[in-house]
Amino acid sequence: MRLVRGALRAWRDSFDCGGRSVAMWFPGHMAKGLRQMKGKLQKVDCLVEVHDARIPFSGRNPVFQEALGVRPHLLLLNKMDLADLKEKSRILEQLKQEGLKNVIFTDCEREENIKEVVPLITELVSSNQRYQRAENVEYCIMVIGVPNVGKSSLINALRRLHLKKGKASQVGGEPGITKAVLTKIQVSERPVMYLIDTPGVLSPRIGSVETGLKLALCGTIRDYLVGEDVMADYLLYNLNKHQLFKYVERYGLDAPCDDIESVLKRVALKLGKTRKVKVLTGTGDVNVIAPDYNAAGYEFVRTFRKGELGKVMLD
């Protein structure tokens, strides 16, 4: 039970995943992406792993570490503009304890902290043995990460910053945009540095349904595989848990509410996401206006992903 705005309200303290299974959420083609990445590893000096800043401790692919982990490693926690970073130093400390010493929070859209990336890579590579490549003055970096975290956006941001050049890597709002595998793209002149863009690869072993839901809310798993209804409910659970009540005013609710059906009904009415349904009564057919819960759920999640319901920390 939590006390909110003077009233005693009951929020859920945990989320009921309802016996769901995450086995279906890992598309098989991702294994192929990982194999291709391993094949290129010989030429790589450093791995830059991009992950979503809203989930610093969950959803990273452990297979990267097992398969590619011998190189120097830099973790970029991207989309910092959407993350609640009040506890940034605690997050960095915990990551350090997990062995992740080189971490930068970034925003590739607004180029926040992007300036720090090339110097840190240069430092990491120079202080490590360069795997039979000591004579080569070029730096070759592989960008890895789960889908839709901003790998291509990073490459484009670096090119804009260091080479004053436009897009080289296709960016998209849906997971799985980077299909042309392993393109080598120059991002810096001094030192000469190339980045290899790779397709997003999810872990074949997503630890729990809740981890899967976090990944889904961040847009790394295709929505239809998870279901808009459960994603919307998990979002509502998180907004209430963190007392992020922007949704109340936005959708014209009287007060915060923990019941997803009531919230989606308001969302649907507010956005005109309704449809006419014929109801049979004793005196004949009657047309009633029914909320389109799926469309409302989709809108609710989409609004959250744009950052319009507040900055969150899902971990």
Tokens of 111: 């180029």
148 is in an annotated binding site: yes
178 near ligand GTP (CB under 6 A): yes
CA–CA separation, 50 and 146 (whole Å): 8
Q: How many residues bind ligand GTP (CB under 6 A)?
A: 24
Please, which residue, 147 or 256, has the CB nearer to ligand GTP?
147
Q: Smaller CB distance to ligand GTP: residue 191 or 204?
A: 204
Among 82, 117, 118, 218, binds ligand GTP (CB under 6 A): 82
In sequence order, the 6+-apart residues with CB closer than 8 A to the CB of 202 are: 25, 26, 27, 30, 61, 146, 147, 215, 220, 221
Spatial contact of 67 and 38, defined as CB atoms under 8 Å apart: yes
Asked if 222 and 174 touch (Cβ cutoff 8 Å), the reply is yes
Q: Is 50 annotated to bind ligand?
A: no
Is residue 272 annotated as involved in ligand binding?
Answer: no
Q: Is 52 part of any known ligand binding site?
A: no
**Calpha distance 273→310 (Å, rounded):** 23
* CA distance linking residue 133 with residue 33, whole number of Å: 25
Asked if 177 interacts with ligand GTP (CB under 6 A), we say yes
- The answer to whether the CB of 106 falls within 8 A of the CB of 112 is yes
61 lies in the binding site for ligand GTP (CB under 6 A): no
Q: How far apart are CA 251 and CA 264, in angstroms?
A: 9
Q: Interface with ligand GTP includes 81 (CB under 6 A)?
A: yes
- Residues forming a β-bridge with 289: 276
Region of residue 247 (left: phi > 0; alpha: psi -120 to 50; beta: else): alpha
Spatial distance between the Cα atoms of 302 and 304, rounded to a whole number of angstroms? 5
* Least gap, CB of 82 to ligand GTP (angstroms): 5
Told to check if 159 binds ligand GTP by CB under 6 A, we report: no
Residue 171 binds to ligand GTP (criterion: CB under 6 A): yes
Specify the residue, 168 or 177, whose C-beta has the smaller distance to ligand GTP: 177
Using the rule CB under 6 A, give the single segment among 34-42, 165-173, 232-240, 244-252 that binds ligand GTP: 165-173
Question: Is 144 within 8 Å of 34 (Cβ atoms)?
Answer: no
Looking at residue 18, its amino acid is: G
Among 49, 52, 107, 299, binds ligand GTP (CB under 6 A): 107
Residues 124-153, interacting with ligand GTP (CB under 6 A): 145, 147-153
- Does 199 interact with ligand GTP (rule: CB under 6 A)? yes
Q: Which residues are annotated as a binding site?
A: 78-81, 148-153, 200
Residue ranges of the binding site for GTP: 78-81, 148-153, 200
Instruction: Name the residues that contact ligand GTP, by CB under 6 A.
Output: 78-79, 81-82, 107-109, 145, 147-153, 171-173, 175-178, 199-200
